[in-house]
Amino acid sequence: MRLIRIANYPSSFAIMSMATSIWIRLRDLKQLGLTYMVYPGAVHSRFEHSLGVYWLAGEAVHRIKAHQGLELDINNFDIKTVKLAGLLHDVGHGPFSHLFEREFLPRVLNGLNWSHEDMSIRMIDYIVDKHNIDIDREYLKKARFDYLVRDSRACGLGCSFQFERLMDTMHVIEDEICYRAKDYLTVHKLFATRADMHRTVYTHAKVKAIELMVVDALSTANSYLRITDKIDKPDEFWKIDDSILKHIETNSSKELKEARDLIQRIRRRDLYQFCNEFSVPKDKLEHFKDITPQDIVCSQTAGRITLKEEDVAVSIAKIDLTRGRNNPLESVKFFKDYESGDKFSIQDHLISHLLPSFYQDKIVRVYAKKPELVEAVSKAFENFQLKIYGVKAQVHATPEKKDEIVHVSAD
């Protein structure tokens, strides 16, 4: 995170009066996408989150000004612009949080690499161009503190990360925000809390089942609704939000029947059935190739049911501390004391032997799209693991074995 020198910008309030419709749209984008269907409290929106980031950005720059205002020459325009960046940083998000850009668009547009960060800048460009406002694109930066605390509380989970401690002691050295060396464990807690939220909430097995169904629904509806035609047109993009599910569900067009049926299944809780999961072995992560429904189907042995690719759904969740297999603290700069002008990274061996020696997990989950296929899909998944890894790394027994265990216990 860097402090960027900005000057000669118009008031944030003037810009917001022109951008009201685009920004208010964030009320209709849930911060956690479809997670609320599993965690009922997770109904907070990107509007609330953006207000939180707006406040945090303001607090951060005010505290930096209080300690280094003369040194850094921070003025009121800088403060307003940093706050504006916090307010607008998420205006480029599509429906259902990251599902739109990471699952839906790559599916229907042959692996398209599209990001909401880039779209946020384009949306702001659209605002300023339309109203002839002079503003620099480079001010758009992100903040993590708000969403970790807000998401944890909304999902009924505790959050032990203390962002106030870091904000009170951060210091700018050579245009980079640095933290006191003795606060390294607090910084690490930020990354660890994020990983815990991914494992417990964001990639919850039932959340992923619902997401897989929504991606299938949007994919089949796209040719009729032409959703992807809007991703390069800011004047059209801002009109799509989470209400697209209700639009599909209540539209009687025959072209939307398949998508409509999927959404109604979600409403009835007739979800894709979780079959099993496994964590990719550490020594296989570097050359891991995404597993597809075809891989599972091709691993099926003879049985009473012959699986087809459309019977199987696969979810691959990557959980790390933001730096892949590396320690994220290596990318954070620290300082010893306020009198020192030196900044440095803290290496693994200087931190703690209690911290993890490995920083990434990749979890493969397989689902059957119909309940009667669970056993066949589970066994095919088991065969796939034996074929690729030579062992079964899955977490649960197959449905058939579960029955055996229950039977023995009953006796």
Domain boundaries, the chain: 1-159+204-271, 273-321+359-411
Q: Which amino acid is at 41?
A: G
- pLDDT classification of 400: cutoffs 50, 70, 90: low
In terms of CATH, what superfamily is 1-159+204-271?
Hypothetical protein af1432 (1.10.3210.10)
- Tell me the per-residue pLDDT of 73-94, one tens digit each, with 9 for 90 and over: 888 888 888 888 888 889 999 9
How far is residue 204 CA from its own chain's centroid? 13
- pLDDT classification of 286: cutoffs 50, 70, 90: confident
**Cα separation of the two ends of the chain:** 61
- Tell me the per-residue pLDDT of 307-348, one tens digit each, with 9 for 90 and over: 999 999 999 999 888 777 788 888 899 999 888 889 998 876
β-partners of residue 362 are: 318
Residue 98 annotated among the catalytic residues of the structure: no
Predicted TM-score (pTM) above 0.75: yes
- Tell me the per-residue pLDDT of 14-32, one tens digit each, with 9 for 90 and over: 445 545 678 889 999 999 9
**Which member of 116, 171, 198, 204 is catalytic?**
116
Dihedral, CA atoms, 153, 158, 159, 162, nearest 10 degrees? 110
Architecture of domain 273-321+359-411: 2-Layer Sandwich (3.30)
How many CA atoms does the CB half-sphere of 403 hold within 13 Å?
4
Angstrom distance (rounded) from CA 42 to CA 156: 9
What would the mean pLDDT of 387-395 be, rounded to a whole number?
76
User: What are the two backbone dihedrals, phi and then psi, of residue 276, each rounded to the nearest 5 degrees?
Assistant: -175, 175
What pLDDT is stored for residue 46 in this prediction? Answer: 93
Angstrom distance (rounded) from CA 362 to CA 360: 7
List Cα–Cα distances, 131 to 124, 137, 233, 235, 259, in angstroms: 11, 15, 17, 13, 39
What would the mean pLDDT of 7-11 be, rounded to a whole number?
40
- Tell me the per-residue pLDDT of 89-141, one tens digit each, with 9 for 90 and over: 899 999 998 999 999 999 999 988 899 989 988 888 887 777 665 555 544 44
Dihedral, CA atoms, 349, 354, 357, 362, nearest 10 degrees? -150
